[in-house]
Amino acid sequence: MHTDDLESSANFIQNIIEKDLNTLKFDGRVHTRFPPEPNGYLHIGHAKSICLNFGLASKYSGKCNLRFDDTNPSKEEEEYVQSIMEDVRWLGFDWEDRVYYSSEYFSQLYEYAVRLIKKGKAYVDSLSAEQIREYRGTLTELGRNSPHRDRPVEENVDLFARMRAGEFAEGERVLRAKIDMGSRNLNLRDPVLYRVLKATHHRTGNNWCIYPMYDFTHGQSDSLERITHSICTLEFEDHRPLYDWFLKELDIYRPQQIEFARLNLNYTILSKRKLLQLVEEKHVNGWNDPRMPTLSGMRRRGYPPNAIRDFCERIGVAKSNSTVDFALLEHCVREDLNKTSSRVMAVIRPLKVVIENYPEDQVEELTAENNPQDSASGSRKIPFSKVLYIERDDFMEDPPKKFFRLGPDREVRLKYAYIIKCERVIKDEKTGEVVELRCTYDPDTKSGSSMGGRKVKGTLHWLSAAHACRAEMRLYNHLFLKENPADEKECPDLGASVNRDSLEVVRTGFIEPFLKDASKGDRFQFLRLGYFCVDNENSSYDFPVFNRTVTLRDTWAKVSKKST
Partner RNA sequence: UGGGGCGUCGUCAAGUGGCUAAGACACAGGAUUUUGAUUCCUGCAUUCGGAGGUUCGAGUCCUCCCGCCCCAGCCA
Q: Which stretch of DSSP H or E encloses residue 416?
A: none
Q: Which of residues 320-349 bind RNA (CB under 7 A)?
A: 320-325, 327-328, 330-331, 334-335, 338, 343
Q: Which stretch binds RNA (CB under 7 A): 70-78, 88-96, 250-258, 533-541?
A: 70-78
What b/e string do you get for 324-339 counting C-beta neighbours within 10 Å, with b at 16 or more? beeeebbbbbbebbee
The residue from 139, 376, 496, 505 that contacts RNA (CB under 7 A) is 139
171: left (phi over 0), alpha (psi -120 to 50) or beta: left
Q: Which of residues 264-293 bind RNA (CB under 7 A)?
A: none
Marked catalytic residue, from 75, 144, 262, 516: 262
Comparison of 21 and 324: residue with beta carbon closer to RNA: 324
The residue from 278, 292, 317, 347 that contacts RNA (CB under 7 A) is 317
By CB under 7 A, is residue 230 in contact with RNA?
A: no
Q: Which stretch binds RNA (CB under 7 A): 49-57, 147-155, 504-512, 522-530?
A: 522-530
Q: Which stretch binds RNA (CB under 7 A): 79-87, 92-100, 280-288, 445-453?
A: 445-453
272 as an active site residue: the answer is yes
Comparison of 420 and 518: residue with beta carbon closer to RNA: 420
Whether the CB-CB separation of 474 and 459 falls below 8 Å is answered with no
Give me the numbers of helices (H) and strands (E) for the chain, helices first please. Answer: 15, 27
Q: Backbone phi, then psi, for 133, in 5-degree steps?
A: -65, -45
- Minimum CB–partner distance for residue 239 and RNA (Å): 6
Q: How far apart are CA 420 and CA 407, in angstroms?
A: 11
By CB under 7 A, is residue 383 in contact with RNA?
A: no
Q: Which stretch binds RNA (CB under 7 A): 138-146, 349-357, 496-504, 512-520?
A: 138-146
By CB under 7 A, is residue 121 in contact with RNA?
A: no
By CB under 7 A, is residue 90 in contact with RNA?
A: no
- Minimum CB–partner distance for residue 266 and RNA (Å): 7
- Minimum CB–partner distance for residue 130 and RNA (Å): 8
Q: Which stretch binds RNA (CB under 7 A): 56-64, 214-222, 425-433, 466-474?
A: 214-222
The residue from 63, 239, 386, 474 that contacts RNA (CB under 7 A) is 239
Residue-by-residue DSSP string for 35-79: ---SSS--BHHHHHHHHHHHHHHHHTT-EEEEEE----TTT--HH
Q: How far apart are CA 447 and CA 415, in angstroms?
A: 8
The residue from 52, 84, 117, 127 that contacts RNA (CB under 7 A) is 127
Comparison of 394 and 472: residue with beta carbon closer to RNA: 394
Q: Which of residues 449-478 bind RNA (CB under 7 A)?
A: 449, 451, 455, 458-459
Comparison of 200 and 449: residue with beta carbon closer to RNA: 449
Handedness of CA 112, 114, 120, 123 (dihedral sign): positive
For 257-369, where are the alpha helices, taking DSSP H only?
A: 272-280, 295-301, 305-315, 326-340
- 3-state DSSP helix/strand/coil % of the chain, to nearest 5: 35, 25, 40
By CB under 7 A, is residue 94 in contact with RNA?
A: no
Whether the CB-CB separation of 27 and 223 falls below 8 Å is answered with no
Instruction: Please provide the distance, in angstroms rounded to a whole number, between the alpha carbons at the two ends of the chain.
Output: 50
By CB under 7 A, is residue 52 in contact with RNA?
A: no
Marked catalytic residue, from 29, 37, 313, 520: 37
436 as an active site residue: the answer is no
By CB under 7 A, is residue 315 in contact with RNA?
A: yes
By CB under 7 A, is residue 492 in contact with RNA?
A: no
- Minimum CB–partner distance for residue 431 and RNA (Å): 25
Whether the CB-CB separation of 548 and 530 falls below 8 Å is answered with yes
Q: How far apart are CA 116 and CA 113, in angstroms?
A: 5
Longest dimension (CA), the chain: 102
259 as an active site residue: the answer is no
By CB under 7 A, is residue 181 in contact with RNA?
A: no
Whether the CB-CB separation of 459 and 471 falls below 8 Å is answered with no
Marked catalytic residue, from 151, 272, 299, 300: 272
The residue from 286, 316, 383, 408 that contacts RNA (CB under 7 A) is 316
Q: How far apart are CA 50 and CA 169, in angstroms?
A: 38
Q: Which stretch binds RNA (CB under 7 A): 106-114, 159-167, 189-197, 281-289?
A: 189-197
Number of C-beta neighbours around residue 205 at 10 A: 9
- Minimum CB–partner distance for residue 198 and RNA (Å): 11
- Minimum CB–partner distance for residue 449 and RNA (Å): 7
Reduced to 3 states, what is the DSSP secondary structure of residue 308? Answer: helix
Whether the CB-CB separation of 31 and 227 falls below 8 Å is answered with yes
By CB under 7 A, is residue 21 in contact with RNA?
A: no
Supply the residues annotated as catalytic: 37, 262, 272
